[in-house]
Structure 1
Amino acid sequence: GLCPERDLKVEHGGFIDEPVYSLKHIPQSSLIVTSGPTGCPLRVWQIGPEDRDVIVPLSTLPTDAGNETWTRTATTPSAPPQILHGSQANSIHLTEIQSTKRIYTLGLSGSDAVSTLGFLDPYTVFVCCRNGRQCMADVRMPGAACEGSVGKHGLSSAAWCAAVNPSKGAACSTVASLSAEGHVCLTDARNLSAPLKCAKCRVPKPAAPEHFLNVCWAPALSDCISLSGFGGTVQIFDTKQWDCAMKEREALFIHRGHSVMGASEAGSEPIVTAHSWHPWKERTVLSAASDGSLHVWNWSDLPEHDGTQL
């Protein structure tokens, strides 16, 4: 396991009097942007030089978060630095960080809560709403380039999140969508309403709270995805052999490290709050849970191997 005194060293730090729900680095800069609960602005910070250990607050950006939503963000390399942000479909903006000028508004209708924002390339953005509504747009042109919904096929009335496969170009990107009831749909970004592959994953119960729902593509393994938010596990799947039939699929590997740590003081099992793949170590995953645990682990799909937590 990780030892705080041995394996973790604070190099830079900053403080704020509100929870941080999201933290994104602005590529090719020393800037980071944080978002928090409803009513909190986006906060822009600057990581100091190597001879200073302070993360300095620079500015704030106003948000339009609704009563039961919080602002999602996405970043991409750009000059000057910009950030895509929004909490509802009709309030998604691209803002220039230094001038705080909104240079693009997506222009969707409706107040559907946003669950995922992302960039397919420096100009193409992807949006997934909690109800399964999805769209792509080019920030150089007004309006959405294409729009669809994974939730309208009766697959699930629960909340959805999504991730775009980073290993493919924007023109033929594959989107993985995950519902809080364990449904997974893979769609071509050019036709977001027509699932190419589907699966029903074994989950102990629907994801709750829904904002911990998370699906990721493995950056260095073809066709592999990972899911979390359903208790204290992270599940890994190979989608190569999937078809469009919605049926139960077996996981390649399940990391149970957080769940075996035991129940919290309140008697509940820890929930995996976030996980992410190492960018080039193809079978290394990082995961964090609601009990404050942080795991870095390797996995294998060999039957005799039960995964190695580093």
Structure 2
Amino acid sequence: MVESIRLYKDLHDFELQDPTRVIEWIGEKSICVAGYDGTKTNEILQLLVPQKLQIKENQGLCPERDLKVEHGGFSQYPVYSLKHVPGHSLILTSSPASGLVQVWKIGAEDKDVIRPTSTIQSDVGKDTWTKMAVPVTSSPGVLHGSHMNNVQLTEIESNKQIYTLATLGSEALGSLSFLDENTFLLCGLSGTLMLADIRQSEIASEGSLALSASCNSHWIATVKPGHKDIASLSSEGHIVIIDSRELKTPLKCAKGKVSVSSTPESFMCINWAPRLDGCISVSGFDGTVQIYDTKSWDESLKERDVLFTHKGHAVMGLCEDGGIPQVTCHTWHPWKERTLISAANDGSLHMWDWLDVCTGL
């Protein structure tokens, strides 16, 4: 354990009352988490990250319990997706138990309540839930849908539908992301990629990830705002990097070092590092978060070395049934280049700043 701690600049271990599968930054000092238990009412919490986490010297392991609850609310549904609306005190949630996007207002400074304000109707099929993406615009809106053929953009304040994607494809969505304020990416669960623009109803371009894995794989994808590359992840642990300008030709491929395949309702997660060029992070297959440097990759589908593996949840935690915790989600700090936050299904929440063993930084 002591040897492992030396791999970090900082490693902080927190414990949530209930596990979360969402971590969303609210500005640079707070995060939002929410429960996903389908048998009870679930808390939605805005947590202030402790000031102590911002200092630079190496502290090692700090099992603190001083995450401060700034605001809180209760959802009658399990929360599978949560998005913050930039520039506004609004968050959005969705769930497989409801065909609604729930709009929440984060209370003013003198109030600590996150309260529901309205709902947006969103069609949901079997065994899936509404995926969401929020554009950075002056008038807050949300792009939402559960399948390729029911994606629409709704203005939050008026609840007015202002865009509908025209496509006949009925494939369930794995993920939905904005590349910029107008262009967005749809990743179908079976590996279909579609690029569209909210200024026109038709699909701009289309490709497929299915050639990179077995037909039974399911996929998610993510984009790095302001950049052209798309990172996608399959349930078999395959990673494919594609240029958004040419969806039919993979630029880089890898077989991730995963022990088991994932399932559609599981916790698959892939993210670009916002401050490290070419680095991505992957989780949802076991109790670890893996970081890869993709700069040297080519289009060959082969196993690649992991740059760093966070094993803290698997090593330090234990589920009620005695099993090893599984990472449910993770996210990068918006400006601290090697800092991430990860959560697991035992309720653990880790904030960690990792060292590059090659450079010592």
TM-score range (shorter-chain normalised) is: over 0.9
Compute the displacement of 1:108 (Å). Answer: 2.0
- The structure 2 residue matched to 1:200, chosen from 252, 255, 260, is 255
CA distance in 2, matches of 1:3, 1:92: 37
Relative to 1, partners in 2 of residues 1:200 and 1:153: Cα closer, same or farther, differing over 3 Å?
closer
Give the structure 1 partner of residue 200 of structure 2: 141
Deviation string 1:12-31 (CA, Å, 9 cap, x unpaired) is 11112111111111111111
Matched, 1:34 2:93: yes
Matched, 1:259 2:314: yes
Query: Does the 8 Å contact 1:11/1:53 carry over to 2?
Result: yes
Relative to 1, partners in 2 of residues 1:304 and 1:134: Cα closer, same or farther, differing over 3 Å?
closer
Consecutive unaligned residues in structure 1, runs of 5 or more: none
- The structure 2 residue matched to 1:92, chosen from 117, 128, 151, is 151
Matched, 1:282 2:337: yes
Compute the displacement of 1:267 (Å). Answer: 3.3
- The 5 A counterparts of 1:141-180 are 141-154=200-213, 157-168=216-227, 173-180=228-235
TM-score, reference length from structure 1: 0.93
Aligned partner of residue 260 in structure 1, secondary structure: helix
CA distance in 1, matches of 2:164, 2:153: 6
Deviation string 1:22-64 (CA, Å, 9 cap, x unpaired) is 1111111111111112434111111111011111211011110
Matched, 1:13 2:72: yes
- The structure 2 residue matched to 1:183, chosen from 215, 238, 248, is 238
Deviation string 1:67-126 (CA, Å, 9 cap, x unpaired) is 111001011222321000000010001001111111111122222111111111111111
CA distance in 2, matches of 1:206, 1:176: 18
CA distance in 1, matches of 2:97, 2:229: 31
- The structure 2 residue matched to 1:80, chosen from 139, 161, 170, is 139
Aligned partner of residue 225 in structure 1, secondary structure: strand
* More displaced 10-residue stretch of structure 1: 121-130 or 102-111: 102-111
Tell me the percent identity: 52
Query: Does the 8 Å contact 1:166/1:217 carry over to 2?
Result: no
Relative to 1, partners in 2 of residues 1:88 and 1:260: Cα closer, same or farther, differing over 3 Å?
same
CA distance in 2, matches of 1:142, 1:209: 28
Consecutive unaligned residues in structure 2, runs of 5 or more: 1-11, 16-63
Relative to 1, partners in 2 of residues 1:267 and 1:111: Cα closer, same or farther, differing over 3 Å?
farther
Deviation string 1:159-197 (CA, Å, 9 cap, x unpaired) is 1111112352xxxx1011110101111111011121011
Compute the displacement of 1:219 (Å). Answer: 0.2
Query: Does the 8 Å contact 1:38/1:65 carry over to 2?
Result: no
- The structure 1 residue matched to 2:123, chosen from 64, 69, 73, is 64
Compute the displacement of 1:262 (Å). Answer: 4.2
CA distance in 2, matches of 1:240, 1:220: 14
Give the structure 2 partner of residue 53 of structure 1: 112
Relative to 1, partners in 2 of residues 1:268 and 1:209: Cα closer, same or farther, differing over 3 Å?
farther
TM-score, reference length from structure 2: 0.80
Query: Does the 8 Å contact 1:208/1:229 carry over to 2?
Result: no
Give the structure 1 partner of residue 282 of structure 2: 227
CA distance in 2, matches of 1:183, 1:290: 23
Provide the aligned length of Structure 1 versus Structure 2.
Answer: 302
CA distance in 2, matches of 1:34, 1:137: 23
CA distance in 2, matches of 1:255, 1:53: 33
CA distance in 1, matches of 2:98, 2:168: 22
Compute the displacement of 1:152 (Å). Answer: 3.1
Compute the displacement of 1:300 (Å). Answer: 1.8
AA of the residue aligned to 1:249: R
* More displaced 10-residue stretch of structure 1: 127-136 or 107-116: 107-116
AA of the residue aligned to 1:267: G
AA of the residue aligned to 1:31: L
* More displaced 10-residue stretch of structure 1: 149-158 or 57-66: 149-158
CA distance in 2, matches of 1:30, 1:94: 19
AA of the residue aligned to 1:126: L
AA of the residue aligned to 2:91: I
Q: Greater share of strand residues, 1 or 2?
A: 2
Compute the displacement of 1:6 (Å). Answer: 4.2
CA distance in 1, matches of 2:153, 2:275: 29
CA distance in 2, matches of 1:210, 1:200: 21
Query: Does the 8 Å contact 1:35/1:71 carry over to 2?
Result: yes
Higher relative contact order (CA 8 A, sep 6+): 2
